[in-house]
Structure 1
Amino acid sequence: MKPVLFCDFDGVLCFDRYWRSLPLDKYEQVQDFIFRNDKTLVNDWMRGHYSAEEINKKVAEKVGVPYDELWDLFVEDCRTMTVSREILGRLNNLRDRFIVMLITGNMDSFSRFTHPSLDLDKYFDHISNSFHEGMHKTDNDGELFLKYVEKYNVPIKNCIVLDDSNNVCKVFAHLGGTAYLVTSDKSLEFYLNNL
């Protein structure tokens, strides 16, 4: 059986942000509110406890932007995220040697707007989003990774993860897989050149 090549989305394939079209001061307020200070809200959203509509209502109240205006901007930002078609093509070409799987800690908005607008199903054998899984990659010592290696009946020692999270890489390596930490010095392209 082919090994699984797990690939992260944010910080590995894509560097665009939600709400990036807001004026800078409002954008920074959103980043502080959702992603920088108390991360409980974003983690709960990524585990499926909130919808994008519920989060945008909270954000609209927090930063003082009308909900309908914020929602339209948010959806458009989700739909217009960019990923290198060349990189997607290279991942697709690896499907003869690997089960290529996108595994992302993400929100319902990814599945509803980003995933379809980028036609990601064309490039990956499977797409796993924490929102639908109800857990992050590191929860329960990497339970999500084990779920998929068992599904595909392949030893984890033959599998690879490409992720920008040091914690994810540590968990995956502890399980016995090969972890490649994607950084500005060692990009996804660097690792793809060496697979």
Structure 2
Amino acid sequence: MIKTVIFDMDGVIIDTEPVHNYAFNAHFKQLNIDVSPELYASFIGNSTKNIFERLRVQFNLADDVDTLVETKRNLFNDAFDNKEDLYLLDGVEDLITDLHNNGIQLVLASSSATITINRIFHRFGLHKYFTHIVSGEDFPKSKPHPAIFLKAAELAQTPVENCIVIEDSTNGIMAAKAAGIYCIGYDSFHSKMQDYSLADMVITDFKELSFEKIANMKSQ
């Protein structure tokens, strides 16, 4: 029986990708580098630190990684605070409350920085539903490395066979499967150039899920 559901955040709970896209591209313009749409799409699911570690080598950037991350984060925070039309994705809050009210443990495992996660959770009142928050900034390797999901299961004190991951990115799905966890791929209209072929189940609407369906799903 499934006891813990591990949620990704960006693209699953909320679509902050347009804000991240704005912040990254504003920063790329400052750095005078040309990042192709294909290269940018390959970053989905990675932490900002890992992204800039790659970009610093590829474009021979002078700034250190911490400076690059801080600049991008400030651009994101300014845009986030000024963006009024930012909402949770359709149906996800209903699913979260349904699972929470029926005793399913919820854990967040996001590549975003803790400060960004808390900013979003505070804005939308989500802290009360989740027992643990795991940030990708705490791991040397980003998704598709499984470390973040293994840590989420460990904190939840739930064997991986009793967990489910909900993810929207190729890297996130690969990470869940590498961790040995059943993965539901969320293929929404926000998703771009992502591969769901490794997911155990693919949904396009959170109405396809409920406590009853998830609790009785067959794990690995």
Smaller-chain TM-score range? 0.5 to 0.7
Q: Output one character per residue of 1:105-163: Cα deviation in whole Å (capped at 9) or x when no partner.
A: 11355235322111120232222222355653433xx1222223223332101110000
Instruction: Report the AA paired with residue 94 of structure 2.
Output: G
> Residues 188, 20 of structure 1: CA spacing in aligned structure 2 closer, same or farther, 3 A cutoff?
same
Contact 1:104–1:128, Cα closer than 8 Å, also in 2: yes
Q: Which residue of 2 aligns with 1:82?
A: 87
Matches within 5 A, 1:67-146: 72-77=78-83, 81-84=86-89, 86-95=91-100, 96-107=102-113, 110-111=116-117, 113-132=119-138, 135-139=141-145, 142-146=146-150
Stretches of structure 1 lacking an aligned partner (at least 5 in a row): 60-69
Q: TM-score normalised to the size of structure 1?
A: 0.66
Residue 155 (str. 1) matches residue 180 (str. 2): no
Contact 1:89–1:123, Cα closer than 8 Å, also in 2: no
Q: Which residue of 2 aligns with 1:187?
A: 204
Q: Output one character per residue of 1:67-109: Cα deviation in whole Å (capped at 9) or x when no partner.
A: xxx96444323x7631048522321221234211121111355
Instruction: Report the AA paired with residue 146 of structure 1.
Output: L
Residue 178 (str. 1) matches residue 179 (str. 2): no
Shift of 1:190: 4.5
SS state of the match for residue 128, structure 1?
A: strand
SS state of the match for residue 120, structure 2?
A: helix
Q: Which residue of 1 aligns with 2:57?
A: none
Shift of 1:168: 2.2
Q: Counting helix residues as a fraction of each chain, which structure ranks higher?
A: 1
Q: Which residue of 1 aligns with 2:5?
A: 5
Contact 1:130–1:136, Cα closer than 8 Å, also in 2: yes
Distance 1:44 1:135 in 2: 7
Q: Which residue of 1 aligns with 2:173?
A: 169
> Residues 99, 14 of structure 1: CA spacing in aligned structure 2 closer, same or farther, 3 A cutoff?
same
Distance 1:171 1:148 in 2: 12
Distance 2:52 2:122 in 1: 18
Q: Which residue of 2 aligns with 1:15?
A: 15
SS state of the match for residue 55, structure 1?
A: helix
Stretches of structure 2 lacking an aligned partner (at least 5 in a row): 54-64, 189-201, 215-220
Distance 1:165 1:135 in 2: 16
Q: Which residue of 2 aligns with 1:67?
A: none
> Residues 11, 4 of structure 1: CA spacing in aligned structure 2 closer, same or farther, 3 A cutoff?
same
